[in-house]
Copies of this chain bind each other. A is one copy, B any other.
């Protein structure tokens, strides 16, 4: 069975050596001293590796069971969920007013990586709750907040988000679920929602569904969509639970992975719902959840890659097979361990250089979200909004590929469920699909985010990269050649792609959209390249001061050199594809595929 060790040291490196969080002006960051964050991360590391990780395979094998309208989660999930609640983990970055600990989002994100890596299906129960609570926090009335948030922040009650219907996912304007206004100000919600993660289960006293529906007589299409709070059990004035609401689970889906999470068909039969936010502005309210969820899903891509990588390393060191081509490394044994072979190393380095940079990327994004929320930093808000589809799309595409590479290290054993590597790929696969399939992320990036606020944010990104290179070049020729020059070249490729879109997308928008997936990927590579340059610099500085673990910092530099030499040059290929335009992409009649 696979194991999981929380990457506490690396998280600390990113928080303190790279992002230097305590030097930030964002309110609350001054408290994030290394000892303090280490204590939190250690505690989370223990819980995730000792309690959640061992349940990962159990959840996969057993799955969820629907019997007479009740969904039973896998054996051990309920007890583990109690431990998570006792530790106060679900409310880590939630307001104290509602029982949370008011920590910055960046800490929630660091801890969140561990939770997702240890057990993605399990962690989704609290993840969805967090998202739903955030939406209520942002758009709810005081009464709604007082009614739902204390229970949701503690995960006594869990939450869901209900968007998809059988005939529509991305295109929510086609939605059929109806909301009929009642005299008391509530609504009766009727319709069917599918793919509802954590839709029904046995781990919470109540489930608060956030449901998109159309108020009868409202505007057509997406402009007539509103968001509603629909509790599973009605909540009485005194906060106690009343009768069952008209919402029930129709079935649970049989999926490729994340078996431990109950993915439900939910039926709303005149269920009582309460408007959350403004009438017909449901998409705006839902996007509060969606943006948070998208960063969270990007993190799942990283998290599955991390745990799969850890196990691939263990196997590559254990399994004896063949001899190093340059001479036996373990002559006393019948064969050398797999890790001596260059192609195994190539695979492991791909994985290692991805997860470490992805971790820095996500945490950097989280600091911008904190700056936006806690310090009303509009620039940070704009930049992270630009980068959100990259975080979601690129990290989950790459994260999935990395789990496949980790599985491949196991040879035949990778295909056998008992070894657990298959689960990582099957679980990671969903992250490319939900919260907006990655094609939609690419569309969001190229079709909307690039031009947002007159292209201000993408210009800011380029300035940031340029400024970083300028500030740090010319001091160390090896570092310039290994890190800064490749970053400069990749960033130039990305700019050229943006230029191509501007020059050719006007006359034919397909010229931009046909390159959207490539653009998202090249943007991701430039971001990870920037992270490696920053991490390389931090490692160099640490080595200069002579404090800390020199091997750790040397390894960091070596891993960075690998990424810059072997992965970052992918931007050139993406640029070539983009510059080939839409003609070959759009050439065929639909009937001729």
Q: Identify the interface centre among A317, A321, A400: most chain B CB within 10 Å of its CB.
A: A321
Q: Identify the interface centre among A322, A347, A400, A417: most chain B CB within 10 Å of its CB.
A: A322
Asked if A590 and B343 make an inter-chain contact with CB atoms under 8 angstroms apart, the answer reads no
Chain B residues lying within 8 Å of A103, measured Cβ to Cβ, are none
User: Which of A241-249, A275-283, A465-473, A580-588 binds B?
Assistant: A580-588
Asked if B417 and A437 make an inter-chain contact with CB atoms under 8 angstroms apart, the answer reads no
A408 contacts which of B432, B565, B586 (Cβ < 8 Å)?
A: B432
Binding site for B on A (CB under 8 A): 164, 167-171, 173-174, 194-195, 253-257, 313, 316-317, 320-322, 325-326, 334-335, 337, 339-349, 352, 400, 404, 407-408, 411-412, 414-418, 422, 425-426, 429-430, 432-434, 437-439, 442-443, 447, 508-510, 513-514, 516-517, 551, 555, 558-559, 561-562, 565-566, 569-570, 572-573, 576-577, 580, 582, 584-588, 590, 592-593
Given A256-B425, A326-B509, A415-B433, 14 other A-B contacts at CB below 8 A? A167-B320, A169-B321, A174-B334, A256-B416, A256-B417, A342-B516, A346-B517, A347-B517, A349-B584, A562-B587, A565-B584, A569-B573, A572-B576, A573-B573
Report the separation of the CA atoms of residues A254 and B423 in the bound assembly, to the nearest whole angstrom. Answer: 12
Question: A337-B590, A577-B569, A586-B345 are known contacts. Are A411 and B437 too (CB-CB below 8 A)?
Answer: yes
Asked if A426 and B256 make an inter-chain contact with CB atoms under 8 angstroms apart, the answer reads yes
**Consensus secondary structure, chain A interface:** helix
Report the separation of the CA atoms of residues A195 and B339 in the bound assembly, to the nearest whole angstrom. Answer: 23
Asked if B439 and A508 make an inter-chain contact with CB atoms under 8 angstroms apart, the answer reads no
Asked if A321 and B566 make an inter-chain contact with CB atoms under 8 angstroms apart, the answer reads no
**Closest residue of B by beta carbon distance from A257:** B415
Asked if A408 and B339 make an inter-chain contact with CB atoms under 8 angstroms apart, the answer reads no
Chain B residues lying within 8 Å of A404, measured Cβ to Cβ, are 400, 429
Distance (whole angstroms) from the CB of A316 to the closest CB of chain B: 8
Distance (whole angstroms) from the CB of A262 to the closest CB of chain B: 14
Report the separation of the CA atoms of residues A517 and B425 in the bound assembly, to the nearest whole angstrom. Answer: 21
**Closest residue of B by beta carbon distance from A575:** B569
Asked if A412 and B256 make an inter-chain contact with CB atoms under 8 angstroms apart, the answer reads no
Chain B residues lying within 8 Å of A195, measured Cβ to Cβ, are 412
A169 contacts which of B168, B316, B411, B508 (Cβ < 8 Å)?
A: B411
Asked if A433 and B417 make an inter-chain contact with CB atoms under 8 angstroms apart, the answer reads no
Asked if A345 and B585 make an inter-chain contact with CB atoms under 8 angstroms apart, the answer reads yes
Chain B residues lying within 8 Å of A342, measured Cβ to Cβ, are 510, 513-514, 516, 582, 585-586
Asked if A588 and B558 make an inter-chain contact with CB atoms under 8 angstroms apart, the answer reads yes
Asked if A439 and B344 make an inter-chain contact with CB atoms under 8 angstroms apart, the answer reads yes
Distance (whole angstroms) from the CB of A163 to the closest CB of chain B: 10
Distance (whole angstroms) from the CB of A98 to the closest CB of chain B: 32
Chain B residues lying within 8 Å of A167, measured Cβ to Cβ, are 320
Q: Identify the interface centre among A169, A343, A412, A430: most chain B CB within 10 Å of its CB.
A: A343
Chain B residues lying within 8 Å of A169, measured Cβ to Cβ, are 321, 411-412
Question: A342-B513, A559-B588, A592-B555 are known contacts. Are A335 and B171 too (CB-CB below 8 A)?
Answer: yes
Report the separation of the CA atoms of residues A434 and B415 in the bound assembly, to the nearest whole angstrom. Answer: 10
Report the separation of the CA atoms of residues A339 and B439 in the bound assembly, to the nearest whole angstrom. Answer: 13
